[in-house]
Structure 1
Amino acid sequence: MLPIHLDLGFTQIYFYEGIYFLISIVLGIWWAKVRVEKYGGKVEKFEGLVVWSIVGALIGARLSHYVFWQSDVFFENPGIIFSPTGAGNSITGGLVGGMLGGYFYVKRNNMNYWEYFSLLSPGVLLGQAVGRIGCFLNGDAYGTATNSFLGVQFPRYATTIPSFETEYRLSSPSWESTTGLPGQTETLSAPVHPTQLYEMFGDVVLILIVLWVFKKIWDTDKKSPLIFFIHTGGYSLLRFGLEYIRADKEGVTMFGMSNLQMALLLYGLFTIGYATKYFLNKRPKKGT
């Protein structure tokens, strides 16, 4: 793991993971463009689609974090969602915001949303997977304490970039969350579930499923929303399960589930129903 603080001279951003997000965005855009070019999409519209999607994702990620996790801070100062040094981005909100931004762009340009989502989906999932690797390196989105062999220990202190000095005045959230388990002089957290890596592997599995389905339907049904529902529904169910071992789970209401989990479960079940209906409708009928 390599948690860092970014020293900009005039201010410091503590436990900064924007570098990892930038890498994930670049890789995701690269693969998405390759697919648009390969499968006959409107390459000249690609940059606009990316810009709208990224702006929507950034706003959605920040807004979702503050509304659902730090609502008191948001309502005291709504402008914090535009602060470059403010902490907090929600991947769930980022996905929703990015999809909405992309939707508005393709509709304004008379493009089919489902078609372009099918083209971009693997690139988006790649960005999600790389982003979670960044979360792991930074010690963010960590899991609950565990005694299993899967447990990992996160560093207590981060390194300041570009001076490469260790900052001893601030402990990492993962170390703080397991206070009482490690000794106060320890420089590593207690073992916790690496939920970031669990999610990364889940994203890779979704990539493989999407690529397989794309190959099956692209030539005959380019405008099908099936890949949209596989991508978003698959991620919803993945995140629903991981919430049970996320250390930052909040807002538990019923059946041990948070409001976010209930929404994810309901949406995931809906997408399963849609995919089942799609395949049943595509099945050859008797006598034809």
Structure 2
Amino acid sequence: MFFWNVDPILVQLGPITLHWYGLLFVGGFLLGFRVMQWICQREGYPTEPLESLLLYMFAGAIIGARLAHVLFYDPEFYFAHPIEILKIWRGGLASHGGTVGVIIAIWLFLRKYPQNGLLWWLDRLVIPTALTACFIRLGNFMNSEIVGLPTGGNWGVVFARIDNLPRHPVQLYEAFSYLAIFILLFWLYRRNAMKAKGFSFGLFMILVFGSRLLLEFVKTPQASYEAGNMLTVGQWLSIPFVLLGIFFVWRSRYHRPKAV
């Protein structure tokens, strides 16, 4: 068995504390930013607005993820202690809300910088987003949070900061899934196989939230009220995203460029 007992704090200098999670979260966004810069340069579009887009997406991800966690995972606690909603450094971000927040942020960005359409940006932004999601799950692993259910397999990880039970390293399962999705989307982009508007966005939604739906079966319950339910909160929230992805993949058949 693999024993995991890494301190979530990377560096602490007086009042300044740097956590592994924060480093990986921001690092994922910055690396994704570089990928998006390369995409824009490849297609001959200016990269200057991307700095503003990064700020929009970062704010949208944080706000959306926090609100979703408050509303869906522990509303009773947060409604009783509203000041705790602002304390995001204590953890509590939901990826489903982060996804909605990012999409809204992109829409707001395009109102200020109207170039191309929303689907053009979504089809390309899902590539670095998958990579960023991989980094975020690695951050969860460094924090020994969002752990899996106990397992008898020899691949189990003992998260010593939680208990002495070997558990599914579900954070790594998700991280590797998102990395594979990034590689697939990047490969499709390089092969110019994403000309149909909305296809890559839809494929991203199907694969990311489909894998999330499946991996929830080996993940510990995240909401205090979901014990004993047929599906977890994360699974119920994933289903609409998968259906949305199926719709956009189906819709993309009618938005292929006409042959010359």
Name the TM tier (shorter chain).
Answer: 0.7 to 0.9
- CA RMSD in angstroms, aligned pairs only: 2.9
1:1-288 to 2 correspondences below 5 Å: 1=4, 2-5=6-9, 7=12, 9-10=14-15, 17-111=21-115, 112-156=117-161, 174-175=162-163, 189-214=164-189, 215-218=191-194, 220-221=195-196, 224-250=197-223, 251-252=225-226, 256-276=230-250, 278-279=252-253
1:252-281 CA-to-partner distances (Å, cap 9, x unmatched) read 499711344123124314423542453488
Tell me the TM-score normalized by structure 1.
0.76
**Larger of the two Rg values belongs to structure:** 1
Distance 1:237 1:88, change over 3 A: same
1:2-50 CA-to-partner distances (Å, cap 9, x unmatched) read 232465645979x862222122222222222222222223312111111
* Partner Cα distance (1:253, 1:49) in 2: 39
1:93-132 CA-to-partner distances (Å, cap 9, x unmatched) read 2222122111211133213111122222221111111221
Distance 1:149 1:276, change over 3 A: farther
How many equivalent pairs are there?
250
Instruction: Identify unmatched segments of 5+ residues in structure 2.
Output: none
4+ runs deviating over 6 angstroms: none
* Partner Cα distance (1:259, 1:90) in 2: 11
* Partner Cα distance (1:191, 1:207) in 2: 29
Q: Which moved more, 1:92-101 or 1:2-11?
A: 2-11
Deviation at residue 212 of structure 1 after TM alignment: 3.6
* Partner Cα distance (1:197, 1:84) in 2: 23
Question: What's the % identity of the aligned pairs?
Answer: 22
Q: Which moved more, 1:54-63 or 1:71-80?
A: 71-80
Tell me the TM-score normalized by structure 2.
0.83
What SS does the aligned partner of 1:101 have? helix
- The answer to whether the Cα contact below 8 Å between 1:59 and 1:81 also exists between their aligned partners in 2 is no
Letter paired with 2:129: V
1:180-231 CA-to-partner distances (Å, cap 9, x unmatched) read xxxxxxxxx310001011111211221133224333345x54xx11111111
Letter paired with 1:264: S
Indicate the residue corresponding to 1:179 in structure 2.
none
1:111-169 CA-to-partner distances (Å, cap 9, x unmatched) read 3111122222221111111221121122111100000122111232xxxxxxxxxxxxx
* Partner Cα distance (1:193, 1:84) in 2: 26
Q: Which moved more, 1:80-89 or 1:29-38?
A: 80-89
* Partner Cα distance (1:205, 1:132) in 2: 14
- The answer to whether the Cα contact below 8 Å between 1:141 and 1:196 also exists between their aligned partners in 2 is yes
